Amino acid sequence: MTKTDASEICMREAVRADVPRVATLIMHGASVQKRTPEQIATEAQDPVYLSAFDVIAANPYNALFVAELEGKVVGTYQITVLPGMAERGRIRAKIESVHVAPECRGQGIGAIMMRHAIAFAAEKGVGLVELTSHKARPDAHRFYNSLGFQQSHEGFKMALSL
């Protein structure tokens, strides 16, 4: 598979018009909830995604980015800057919902997005970047390790709604 040159990728903050495509990318990457293409197309139009985007866009500590190739959104990630008290007030950033279109995987787009995320975090004064990845995604784990991320913690979560 041919690697995509970084100059071919336009990284930009997402806009409302990107929301259905971003939702589609996220659903294609979800390893625990398999859906048909028709189910994904229908779900991506749900207004709940626009509402979620509005909340993200209104928060100065959040950003949602997309990667464009030849004018088409082929990747996405969200980053949240987290001020904190730990480690002498070191600011952290959490990267979430990293997804590349299935037909574009293996071309280096994910690495371009992650370099962008790290640079964005550095510009915000972040001293530590972290992310989580579902246990069912070993390929993603190898990818993050190859970029220098280390598996350092065991994660926990508790769903409160939805």
Is there a contact between 67 and 112 (Cβ–Cβ < 8 Å)? yes
Does position 123 have pLDDT exceeding 90, yes or no? yes
Architecture of domain 8-146: 3-Layer(aba) Sandwich (3.40)
Average pLDDT of 95-106? Answer: 93
Integer Cα distance of 91 and 126 in angstroms: 5
- 121 has pLDDT over 80: yes
Q: Give the pLDDT score at 16.
A: 97
Rounded percentage of the chain residues whose pLDDT exceeds 90: 67
- For the cut 60, the answer to whether the pLDDT of residue 32 exceeds it is no
pLDDT tens per residue, range 56-95: 999 999 999 999 999 999 999 999 999 989 989 999 999 9
Residue 29 has pLDDT above 80, yes or no: no
Residue ranges per structural domain of the chain: 8-146
Q: Report pLDDT for 140.
A: 87
Tell me what percent of the residues of the chain surpass a pLDDT of 70: 96
DSSP per-residue letters across 61-87:
TEEEEEEEETTEEEEEEEEEEE--SHH
21 contacts 67 by C-beta, under 8 angstroms: no
Tell me: pLDDT of 36 over 90: no
Is residue 135 predicted with pLDDT exceeding 90?
no
pLDDT at 1: 66
Question: Measuring CA to CA, which residue among 93, 89, 134, 136 is closest to residue 116?
Answer: 93
Q: Tell whether the model's pLDDT for residue 28 goes beyond 90.
A: no
Cα separation of 79 and 89, whole Å? 19
- pLDDT of 52 > 90? The answer is yes
**Residue 80 near residue 65, CB atoms below 8 Å:** no
Distance, CA of 152 to CA of 162 (rounded, Å)? 29
Tell me phi and psi for residue 67, to 5 degrees. Answer: -110, 125
